[in-house]
């Protein structure tokens, strides 16, 4: 079981309280009328499925009911950091895990 730190509650809680909501940092096209069908399709349906570090959106369903981001290793399941939506991750694939 994962133990996840909620940046809103400032507490580490069990995984059962949370729901994963897919890839984080998905940007909606700025000009919808000028966006091609292919770009809309990519925005709506296609997500990264990396082996290694991944930025994910999670929801604290049985707690504060707020969304936040998690940087997690998809191989080891290790969570490197959690941060609020709108903030940038400090751990990225090119920087590696800061320890
Ligand atoms: Zn919370």
How far is the C-alpha of 81 from the C-alpha of 71, rounded, in Å?
5
pLDDT digits (tens, 9 = 90+) for 1-46: 899 999 999 999 999 999 999 999 999 999 999 999 999 999 999 9
Domain assignment present for residue 36? The answer is: no
Which residues lie below 8 Å from residue 2, measured CB to CB, with a gap of 6+? 14, 15, 77, 79
% of the chain with per-residue pLDDT over 70: 95
CATH number, residue 84 = 3.30.2270.10
The environment of the single-atom ion ligand 1, i.e. residues with CB closer than 5 A, is 6, 8-9, 60, 63-64
Cα(83) to ligand 1 centroid in Å equals 11
How far is the C-alpha of 9 from the C-alpha of 66, rounded, in Å?
9
pLDDT of residue 16: 97
Q: Where in the sequence is the domain holding 77, given as residue range(s)?
A: 3-27+50-92
Please count the structural domains in the chain: 1
Q: What phi and psi values does residue 73 have, to the nearest 5 degrees?
A: -85, 120
């Amino acid at each position: 079981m994962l133990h996840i730190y909620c940046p809103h509650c400032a507490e580490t809680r069990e995984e059962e309280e949370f729901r994963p909501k897919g890839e984080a940092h998905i940007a909606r096209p700025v000009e919808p009328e000028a966006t091609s069908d292919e770009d809309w399709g990519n925005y709506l349906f296609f997500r990264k499925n990396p082996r290694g570090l991944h930025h994910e959106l999670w929801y604290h369903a049985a707690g504060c009911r707020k969304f936040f981001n998690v940087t997690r290793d998809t191989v080891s399941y290790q969570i490197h950091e959690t941060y609020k939506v709108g903030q940038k991750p400090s751990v990225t694939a090119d920087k590696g895990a800061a320890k």
